[in-house]
Chains A and B, each alone.
Chain A
Amino acid sequence: MKWYNYINIAYRALLRNKTRAFLTMLGIIIGIASVIAVVSLGSASTNNIRNEIASTGTNMIFISPAQQQRGGINMGAGDAKSLTESDLKALKKECKLITNVSPSVNISGQLVAGTNNTPTSLSGVDVTFQHIRDLKMQKGIFFSTTDVETAAKVCVIGKTIVDKLFPDGSDPIGKTIRFKNIPLKIIGVLEERGQNGMGQDQDNVVYLPYSTVQKRMLAITHFNSIFASAVSEEESENAVTEIKSVIRRAHKLKPSDTDDFDIFTQAEMLSMVSNVTGMLTALLTSVAAISLLVGGIGIMNIMYVTVTERTKEIGLRMSIGAQKQFVLMQFLSESIILSLIGGFLGILLGIIVSYLVSLFLNWEFVLNIGSVLLAFGVCFAEGIFFGWYPAKKASQLDPIVALRYE
């Protein structure tokens, strides 16, 4: 018996019941389509977030004071004062693996321009911050070293702030805005960046010299955090080690003392985000996989009904010379054909759905060839697995009984 004869017999039998064949396939179609779509959209969103993070510089390093314990109470990192000007100087002087260093001092409050105002957070940074975060100017200039030295009352603002404070569309350059009664002159507007991977608005920012925030607004000498860039992404691990030893020395920590600061790298952030999206994708895929299982049970159910319904046909086939294994192969072929065609349509549907969603969300469309091949493999295995029992049952019918079956 040649294999294409089985296919021919099975194919003819399926064609006799087109509607039922399609409805049986529907379970597989939906299952495969959802797996393909989830995997594809999962990778698309991961790529999207990675690109966002990478665009802010993958070699960025972020140093913050460690959380403090005082009398058994965790004070958080907020009011720790461990990062100071001397740390900054030490980093600039001793670290070979970092190119730019900038402190960051933050203050929140209401920003006022004429009759308009908006709540925001001001970041006091150094000139080098522009390079660390790769900030591009849309208009005007970033503040200068002189501005930092003189604690000048100047600032650079993002698109969201422009929209909030100057809704009439007038040019903000040269205008003065007030923060806690301190007038700040706008000298530059940043290029629009949109939301980052976490959904934060990267245009709701005001940058000004850190000295201005420290001296004129907060009257403090410590920093909230320090930003740095490693010479390259590969060197960021080593840069972290170097920074750690430099700051430990600057803080005169004994070897037994724990660090009074924390260091994060953008690379760590990247892997953290990838972990989260990877977990989400895995979770959704497993839900979709359950629908695939249900689809397979649908095939088994229909094949089982089919065998009972076609008992007489099976008897006839046996009486005209179909051997047991021919009958087995016929019904197995039917379920494999069903699940493979279903799988093919499902892959098509999954690709269309994920393509449309990617298009709609403005993501780059990613098709995972591995998942397509896997889906085909799963369909084939499902066809065999769920078709086996009904096919076995068909092949074990007694032709004499089957022929007289009503």
Chain B
Amino acid sequence: MTNKEVLKIEQLTRTFEMGSEKVHALRGISFSVNEGEFVSIMGTSGSGKSTLLNILGCLDKPTSGEYFIDGIAVSKQNDQALSLLRNRKLGFVFQSYNLLPRTSAVEQVELPLLYNPDIKSRERKERAKFALEQVGLQDRMNHFPNQLSGGQQQRVAIARALVNDPVMILADEATGNLDTRTSYEVMSLFQQLNAQGKTICFVTHEPDIANFTTRSIRLKDGLIITDTPIMTQSAALALASLPKNQDYEMV
């Protein structure tokens, strides 16, 4: 594991104006993430973790402070440059998968590459297929979302986040809509990707999910209260120790 800084934030604040009131969602936080880290960001609702995620995802800009992704200062960028950063540097995984309806898995995964004019159609298809193989869906390439289980849909979304080879994958409650077993499967996949060197920021409010990461940052009222490395548990082992479910078939 190298010590290259993928992400660095300094004294980040974000204030919203709600009518005459000012809401301080982030009150000045600083941390950095090195390449290959698997960070969980935890906090209760209202702790500022969604605001932080929006900023990390280049969807929002800080009120003050600076955010560097891959050495690029985000607050100085315009809308167009932010789109470019999202397209080239980041991969998103959402709680509700956000797949397009009536669109095959391979086309879903191709989507980020369609917004990159440097990538030709043939390369786009190959990379999409490779990403689907990485998440173990090589047999489901042409399935529509309604033909896939929740876990499979989330894996398509993970493949979509991987396909542009981002410097960081941002996951927003990525296991929030899944049952325990499927959550563990997805976490096991994230751990595999992390083991291959992917940097992952995982926003969650479930402590047992955070245990599968390598570092945990806790937010409360817009401030970091703890930032500690954790004894990482293996999701694959946790999965194996779950009581067998007769109704469930492994894919």
Contact = CB atoms under 8 A, between A and B. Distances in A.
Interface of A: 1-2, 5, 8-9, 12, 16-17, 312-313, 315-324, 326, 399-400, 403
A321 B101 contact: no
A321 B84 CA distance: 6
Given A320-B86, A321-B86, A321-B87, A1 B100 contact: no
Nearest to B108: A316
A326 B115 contact: yes
B94 interface: yes
Grouping DSSP codes into helix (H, G, I), strand (E, B) and loop, the A interface class, with mixed when no group exceeds half, is helix
Contacts of B80: 323-324
Contacts of B239: none
A12 B107 contact: yes
Nearest to B115: A321
Given A16-B100, A16-B102, A316-B98, A321 B160 contact: no
Interface string B73-99: 000000110011011100010100010
Interface stretch (B21-29, B53-61, B205-213): B53-61
Nearest to B121: A8
B28 to A, nearest CB: 21
- Most chain A CB inside 10 Å of its own CB: which residue of B86, B94, B114, B164: B114
A317 B111 contact: yes
Given A320-B86, A323-B84, 4 more contacts: A17-B102, A324-B80, A326-B83, A399-B59
Contact of A320 (B79, B107, B111): B111
14 contacts: A5-B114, A16-B103, A316-B100, A317-B111, A319-B92, A320-B86, A320-B160, A320-B164, A321-B84, A321-B115, A322-B115, A399-B59, A400-B54, A403-B59
Contact of B83 (A2, A323, A400): A323
B48 interface: no
Given A1-B115, A5-B117, A12-B107, A319 B102 contact: no
Nearest to A15: B102
B100 A320 contact: no
B32 interface: no
B94 A403 contact: yes
Contacts of B114: 5, 8-9
Nearest to B88: A321
B116 interface: yes
A344 B114 CA distance: 28
B112 interface: yes
B13 to A, nearest CB: 17
Contacts of B54: 400
A321 B111 CA distance: 10
A320 B115 contact: yes
A1 B98 CA distance: 23
Nearest to B80: A323
Given A399-B59, A400-B54, A2 B79 contact: no
Contacts of B59: 318-319, 399-400, 403
A9 B114 CA distance: 8
Given A313-B100, A320-B87, A320-B115, A400 B60 contact: yes
Interface-central residue, A17, A312, A316, A322, by most chain B CB under 10 Å: A316
Interface in B41-78: 54, 57, 59-60
A329 B190 CA distance: 35
A321 B79 contact: no
A104 B55 CA distance: 97
